[in-house]
């Protein structure tokens, strides 16, 4: 197994991030500096990242977490703000998030112990659908929704057509449902700003065939027995 893949399977980070760590000279194999992501290793080899030994985790695990607004989706925050990892139980293995939700956003967030599994969900070519409920200030016109259905360009960045529907509306606010596949950085917020919509809430309700359901804010649920998880896990192995 190549070293970058080993690090990903150990749940340390994604394969791409592992390659970056190798180029930054932060990976050692049996006490020697690793200089290439293509280096092959055995399970008996001693692998260190930032001088900390890591071990491969053979069983892929997955959890879903209901992220509250105001929480950071990162392992460590330089500003010392509360992160997702401050809220999850301490007895869980080393985990990474699948994708991100910005600080103000809330809803469904997945955590896994396997970088390859995380990468599968994040790759655009796998066309994993993400569904969001969005509350914006004021009344939204149908012709504005048609702009999104056709696709929009902002600052020379093209955003693909998306499925969007109006859930409810009154004088003060409108609830929308938006369906994304690409998932560019802060895509929904950028699009809403371009259309003059002030976003009050942004909630991810679905990621692929996984749904937030009735999971309470700040709670985590093991998805080991989920049929969809078992199906995807076979593709990773």
Q: How confident is the model over 64-123, as pLDDT tens digits?
A: 999 999 999 988 888 889 999 999 998 888 898 998 999 999 999 999 988 888 888 888
102 is catalytic: yes
Choosing from 77, 102, 198, 222, the catalytic residue is 102
Whether 192 and 136 map to the same domain: the answer is yes
Question: How many domains would you assign to the chain?
Answer: 3
Give the pairing of strands 106-112 and 96-98: antiparallel
- Please write the tens of the pLDDT for every residue from 124-162: 888 899 999 999 999 998 888 999 999 999 998 898 899
Which two three-digit tokens encode residue 134? 């969005």
- Please write the tens of the pLDDT for every residue from 181-217: 877 788 999 999 999 999 999 999 999 999 999 999 9
Does 43 have pLDDT greater than 80? no
CATH number of domain containing 41? 3.10.290.10
Which residues make Cβ contacts (< 8 Å) with residue 140, sequence separation at least 6? 166, 169, 174, 176, 197
Whether 203 and 101 map to the same domain: the answer is no
Domain of residue 86, residue span: 62-125+213-236
Which residues make Cβ contacts (< 8 Å) with residue 234, sequence separation at least 6? none
Give the pairing of strands 106-112 and 199-207: parallel
């Amino acid at each position: 197994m190549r070293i970058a893949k080993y690090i990903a399977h150990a749940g340390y980070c994604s394969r791409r991030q592992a390659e970056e760590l190798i180029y930054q000279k932060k990976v050692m194999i049996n006490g020697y500096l690793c200089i290439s992501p293509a280096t092959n290793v055995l399970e008996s080899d001693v692998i260190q990242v930032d001088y900390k030994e890591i071990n491969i985790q053979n069983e892929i695990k997955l959890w879903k977490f209901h992220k509250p607004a105001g929480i950071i989706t990162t392992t460590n925050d330089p500003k010392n703000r509360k992160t997702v990892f401050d809220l999850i139980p301490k007895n869980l293995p080393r985990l990474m998030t699948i994708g991100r939700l910005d600080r103000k956003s809330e809803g469904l967030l997945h955590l896994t112990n396997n970088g390859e599994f995380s990468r599968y969900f994040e790759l655009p070519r796998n066309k994993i659908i993400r569904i969001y409920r969005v509350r914006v200030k004021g009344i939204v016109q149908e012709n504005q929704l048609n702009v999104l259905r056709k696709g929009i360009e902002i600052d020379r960045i093209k955003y693909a057509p998306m499925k969007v529907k109006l859930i409810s509306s009154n004088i003060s606010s409108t609830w929308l449902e938006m369906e994304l596949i690409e998932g560019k950085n802060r895509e929904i917020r950028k699009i809403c700003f371009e259309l003059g919509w002030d976003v009050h809430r942004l909630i991810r309700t679905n990621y692929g065939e996984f749904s937030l359901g009735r999971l309470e804010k700040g709670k985590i649920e093991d998805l080991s027995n989920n049929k969809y998880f078992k199906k995807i896990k076979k593709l990773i192995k």
